[in-house]
Amino acid sequence: MTINDSPTDLHSAVDAALSDLAEGERVWAATSLTARAELLGRVRELTGQHAEEWVDAAVSYKRLDPQAPLVGEEWISGPYAMAAGAGSLEHSLLSLAEGRSPLENAHFGVANGRTTVRVLPTSVFDSLLLSGFSAEVWLQPGIGRDEAIRAAGLAQLDPTRTHGIGVVLGAGNITSIAPLDVLYELIAHNRVVALKLNPITNLLLEPLTKVLEPLIAIGAVRILTGGADVGEYLVQHPAVAHVHMTGSAATHDLIVWGHGEDAAARKASGQPRLEKPITSELGGVSPTIVLPGHWSKADLRFQADHIATQRLHNGGYNCVAAQAVVISSEWDQKDDFLRELRAAYEAAPIRSAYYPGSDDRVAAAESTYPDAEHFGGRLLLPGLRGDRSETLLHTEYFAPVLGVVELPGLGADFARAAATTANDEFAGTLGVNVIAHPATIQKLGAAFDILIEQLRYGTIAINAWTGAGFLTAGATWGAYPGHTLDDVQSGIGVVHNALLIDRPERTVVRGPFRPAPRSVLHGEWSLTPKPPWFVSNRTAATTGRRLAAFAAAPGWDKLPAIFASALRG
């Protein structure tokens, strides 16, 4: 639903959408779990049918070359993620409809005193397509296996008890964020949903309307466009019970507290202007911790490419893009590593700065760090220590800016220092990456386990990028628990979580240190070549298209073509 500029049209269109949803809530409450699963299955299928239109819209507003391998990012982080998420939620609802918990057949474990649930791999397909990758959700302390099984399902344990109308304020960067958030509101919280698109993504209105049509048809979803005035009227509307947003902490605080002296007074008194609950995913300054070890030239080259991807994927406009690489100043391969990082940063494809304000944020970083190294509009800030790193660690640039922060120490001493810096100095708690040679992990032993346990982040990726956690449907996605409205950091609550796990603490993702075939030659059980989300992957567009088609309609017959494309990447 497109809203015109006049306040009268604005209000009437929002009112009409919310009126539709009020009726739709009654329909949704009367919809059985089996029927809900069928609706999600239809959404999954429609994602595949309209995937090309979806990707074309993203390519257009992000100003990508339609023939470039970078288009693979749009296939994977758009239709693939959506189809995989819808399919996993569909499976959870079918389990509940049969009287079974979504976790009934899950693999449970224990890590640092917490119960864990494996969310990758969960099928033979997972094991083949993401060979060597794994992910587990750590539950909050004190929650055991039996309680986790009993509580899994969240609001769908009582599907007839709905919870009003939820508003989703969509993101402007990754195109699956908004529709996946819609599904989470609808399923995990049993709320019908008004999705307000970010104006940057208005070209997605048509494909998303087609994809979500089964839910729109029964009145469970409405999609709105428009500017900040529409969002303001929508979130303040008395018919709305809950708000979920993706964006910056500044935008969150504007919604919750207002601006200027009034906002300060409200914060001081603990009386927010938004008089309803809000959850959020707000990004932050994500670190990549590199543990010193003995790396081959091929290791240095691959991991430099890996880190360049962590920063430059989607042009750097990711809430979990790595912004600071934390390395040891005493690592005897530090200079070799930095040389490869510069080369990877320089070799990464140049792309348009499509996200509003990007050039200004790059200029601000350059003003703070005048000795920054330039690579086609991208900045690399090496050799930062002590006070020089403060601005980098406290400011989410949301732009192609990457700093290298050096800390003293080796071995367990460096690991402890890196964890303390990541926890205490970095803004936000959404995601942290840890890169370590397998021999280093083995040598550290318990000290490595302590490092992972001490990191207070919603997603921790070991020899992987936290973006892989975003793509894992069963993983939780969101900040580390404990933030509050007046100190929101990376947000409150989680999304994705297709197994509908109650009271998660974090997701831990693990990947291979080396790509195949080197991984196999060095004893790592992984057949995954260079992942298709790497910015340097030459066949990412073809692989991404084939992965999206597979997620929309899984089948053994699709695997050979996916493998063939992936191996050429």
Whether residue 382 has a cis bond before it, omega within 30° of 0: no
What's the pLDDT tens digit per position in 91-121? 999 999 999 999 999 999 999 899 999 999 9
Could you give the CA distance from residue 412 to residue 454 in angstroms, rounded to a whole number?
A: 13
Per-residue pLDDT band at 6 (split at 50, 70, 90): low
pTM for this entry: 0.97
- Phi first, then psi, for residue 482 (nearest 5°) are 120, -10
In angstroms, the Cα distances linking 566 to 468, 529, 536, 547, 563 are 16, 7, 13, 10, 5
Q: Is the dihedral of CA 523, 527, 532, 536 positive or negative?
A: positive
Per-residue pLDDT band at 59 (split at 50, 70, 90): very high
| CATH number for the domain formed by residue range(s) 286-537 | 3.40.309.10
What's the pLDDT tens digit per position in 249-273? 999 999 999 988 888 889 889 899 9
Comparing CA positions, the residue from 509, 535, 413 lying closest to residue 135 is 509
pLDDT of residue 404: 98
Statement: residue 32 has pLDDT above 80: yes
Whether residue 179 has a cis bond before it, omega within 30° of 0: no
Beta strand segments in 463-528, E: 476-478, 491-492, 494-496, 504-510
- 100-108 contacts, C-beta under 8 A, 24 or more apart: 101/149, 101/150, 101/152, 101/153, 102/152, 102/153, 102/499, 102/500, 103/148, 103/149, 103/152, 103/499, 103/501, 104/149, 106/149, 106/499, 108/145, 108/148
Tokens found for residue 410: 């080796």
CATH architecture group of domain 7-102+152-247 = 3-Layer(aba) Sandwich (3.40)
Statement: residue 9 has pLDDT above 80: no
Which element (helix H / strand E) includes 54? helix 51-61
Residue span(s) of the chain under CATH 3.40.605.10 come to: 7-102+152-247
pLDDT of residue 261: 85
Statement: residue 128 has pLDDT above 90: yes
Could you give the CA distance from residue 311 to residue 242 in angstroms, rounded to a whole number?
A: 33
Per-residue pLDDT band at 1 (split at 50, 70, 90): low
Tokens found for residue 358: 């990007």
What's the pLDDT tens digit per position in 162-180? 999 999 999 999 999 999 9
Q: What is 266-329 written as a DSSP string?
A: HHHHT--S--S-EEEE----EEEEE------HHHHHHHHHHHHHHHHGGGG--TT-EEEEEEET
pLDDT of residue 431: 98
Per-residue pLDDT band at 161 (split at 50, 70, 90): very high
Per-residue pLDDT band at 8 (split at 50, 70, 90): low
Could you give the CA distance from residue 421 to residue 440 in angstroms, rounded to a whole number?
A: 20
Could you give the CA distance from residue 410 to residue 51 in angstroms, rounded to a whole number?
A: 48
pLDDT of residue 53: 98
Statement: residue 362 has pLDDT above 90: yes
What's the pLDDT tens digit per position in 202-220? 999 999 999 999 999 999 9
Per-residue pLDDT band at 11 (split at 50, 70, 90): confident
Statement: residue 374 has pLDDT above 70: yes
Statement: residue 10 has pLDDT above 80: no
pLDDT of residue 174: 98
Which of the pair, 4 or 357, is modelled with greater confidence?
Answer: 357
Statement: residue 3 has pLDDT above 60: no
pLDDT of residue 264: 86
What's the pLDDT tens digit per position in 33-45? 999 999 999 999 9
Q: Which residue has the tokens 């991404």?
A: 544
End-to-end CA distance of the chain: 40
Tokens found for residue 492: 């409150």
Statement: residue 5 has pLDDT above 70: no
Q: Which residue has the tokens 């529709």?
A: 179
Residue span(s) of the chain under CATH 3.40.309.10 come to: 286-537
pLDDT of residue 4: 55
Q: Strand pairing partners for 328?
A: 407
